Chains A and B, each alone.
Chain A
Amino acid sequence: MSFISATFIVFFMAVILLYYLTPLKYRWVLLLIASYGFYLSSGVKVMLFLLFTTAVVYGGARWMESVRDHAKSKKAAKKTNKRILLLEALVNFGILFVLKYYNFIADNLNGLIGMFKYDFSMPLVNLILPLGISFYTFQAVGYSIDVYRGKIKAETNFLQFALFLSFFPQMTQGPIFRYGDLAPQLKEGHKFSLTNLKFGLELVLWGYFKKLVIADAASTAVTNVFGRYDTFDGMQVLIGMVLYAIQIYADFSGGIDMTRGIAQAMGINLVDNFRQPYFGNSVAEYWRRWHMSMTNWMRDYVFFPLTFAHFSTKIGKWGRHHLKTIGKQLPAYIPTFVTFMLIGIWHGAGWGFIAFGLYNSLIIIFSMALTPAFDKCKSVLHIPEEAFWWRCFQIIRTFAIMVYGKTLTRAASVHDALAMMKATLHLDFGMFFANMKSELIAVGLHGRQWVVLTAAILIFFTVSVFREKGVHIREAVSRKPLPVRWVLILGLLTAVLVFGVYGEGYSSSSFIYRNY
């Protein structure tokens, strides 16, 4: 059941209504039934994978707790629990790895074997990819690690644990929640609140606006440019690449807004997954603002454990004695590299995703290594760190780096991505501005569509600027006089209906992150 369907709208409205009609104590049961009903709509077979992960992780956590309660010493318990945790992680990541990456690895190995003319090839298999598997697997393993670390108690109620891993608004594209942030809210029955219902539905509407009016409109031009980039000039290719960066942000954050909005309508407050990522002043800062639930997961369960590991300490000691600034940074390089490679691979099976991981890790590592030199340059050139123009320069620089990086994940191959990047080295501004109308139309959208898309992006940008300044948009809107509020909400609804759902040549596409 797609988020972008009348069926889903009827479904979630019915769930919200039934949620408040159900006695407080049993509201979590309704959520569980709704969540499994939603998941079932994507297939019966895929549900078995979800059930298996739920059972394994639930049982593993209970086992760890039992070991901790009955072991002779804390040290012995820790040793046994480490093994249980490793087994659990291996099983869950193993399933994800086989379903998501087996064909990619087999295909590449076959190519390699073919080069040596051996008469052997690994079979390619038609594997199913259960809905949200990347998200619920990471959420499940994160829960296991927290139980292992003693940060949370293992859930004793299997059905409530099943709800934690299957909450329907987050099954399409996350976010990835920590147990402590989500489970208590799901278990607790929330009393009806008009403010929550209103704010939640407003957020859902805003999500639809981003998805339907921005992302899906941009998608037409993006598909066109990425599909036959060699027929476009440098400016058009660059426009396609920039539009893709906007599309994926509007698409993903729009979907997350819908998720958070539906949850909020039932009194469940989910932390946001984005903090204006394109306003980040560096690539590292961008990653602290983009898909925060995933980057936080990587930080807590991959980056820091690797950074604090014995081998990192040894490398650090050696570095401090033999090298200067770089020596001090050495222990952070390997974890940074591993983390960003994993982030790249997490997004999908393909060389483009691996290249994307490499691209980000190298940029961040070089930025760290060159920080002293940059600082010296800034001091010599008297660049004031807080100056508005300097901040704008940093933001544009980061955005440009991400536009090029994301091209690696969208192009059909790394070769195509590099060819597109090369095309943008030849920008004929004179020709473009002289024939702007025909140049833009050739990209794939006609005049009116460009006007609507540009206006929608400007609205999105303005809202982002306010959010960056700390303004809580919905609270601010709720303080406006009633006519102003209605104009704003009806305007948004009209835009979604007129330019999104009933727009010329409109066809809804599924969420990009649904495939990750």
Chain B
Amino acid sequence: MEEKILAIIKENAGDHVDWMNEDKIVDKELIDSLDMVAIIGELSDEFDIEISADEMTPENFNSISAIVAMVSRLNEEQN
């Protein structure tokens, strides 16, 4: 899952950042709201989950591990 998420982030926000070791992705504005929207769309498609706007929080997107946790939680709730 981690690899797939990393690939989605790289595709949408570029690979100029060490995404795996970054834990302030949103706080440092390394992705903007349009990147986040694109990432959410692709995560929804890839993992067959519905991500609502309420999930668009820095806590859920500040690091790869936070995104993994969110996707796992939604997967558990919905599938």
Residues of A within 8 A of B (CB): 74-75, 78, 149-151, 299-300, 304, 307-310, 312-313, 316-317, 320, 328-329, 331-332
Contacts and interface: CB of A to CB of B under 8 A. Distances in A.
Given A75-B79, A78-B78, A313-B44, A332 B37 contact: yes
Contact of A332 (B34, B40, B53): B34
B53 A299 contact: yes
A74 B41 contact: no
Give the dominant DSSP class at A's interface: helix
B42 interface: yes
B78 A308 contact: no
B38 A328 contact: yes
A149 B52 CA distance: 9
Please tell me the size bucket of the interface on B: 10 to 19
B25 interface: no
B34 A308 contact: no
Interface string B38-53: 1011101100001111
B63 interface: no
Contacts of A307: 37, 41
The 7 nearest A-B residue pairs measured at CB: A313-B41, A304-B53, A316-B38, A308-B41, A328-B34, A308-B40, A307-B37
B12 interface: yes
A313 B42 contact: yes
A313 B79 contact: no
A299 B54 CA distance: 11
Interface string B51-79: 11110000000000000000000000111
A329 B38 contact: no
A308 B79 contact: no
Contact of A300 (B11, B38, B53, B77): B53
A68 to B, nearest CB: 11
B38 A313 contact: yes
A331 B37 contact: yes
A320 B38 CA distance: 10
Nearest to B53: A304
Contacts of A329: 34
A312 B41 CA distance: 8
A319 to B, nearest CB: 9
Given A74-B79, A328-B34, A332-B34, A149 B41 contact: no
Contacts of B42: 313, 317
B4 to A, nearest CB: 15
B41 A304 contact: no
Contacts of B12: 320
Given A300-B53, A308-B51, A310-B45, A150 B37 contact: no
13 contacts: A74-B79, A150-B77, A151-B54, A299-B53, A300-B53, A304-B52, A307-B37, A308-B37, A308-B44, A308-B51, A310-B45, A317-B38, A320-B11
B53 to A, nearest CB: 4
A388 to B, nearest CB: 26
A149 B12 CA distance: 27
Given A74-B78, A308-B40, A320-B12, 13 more contacts: A300-B53, A304-B52, A308-B37, A308-B51, A310-B41, A313-B42, A317-B38, A328-B34, A328-B38, A331-B34, A331-B37, A331-B38, A331-B41
A62 B37 CA distance: 32
Contacts of A308: 37, 40-41, 44, 50-51
Contacts of A331: 34, 37-38, 41
Most buried by B among A75, A308, A310, A313: A308
Contacts of B34: 328-329, 331-332
A320 B10 CA distance: 12
A316 B41 contact: yes
A300 B23 CA distance: 27
A67 B78 CA distance: 14
A74 B49 CA distance: 12
A150 B52 CA distance: 11
Contacts of A78: 78
Nearest to A77: B78
**Taking each of B37, B44, B51, B54, which has the highest tally of chain A beta carbons within 10 Å of its own beta carbon?**
B37
Nearest to A296: B53
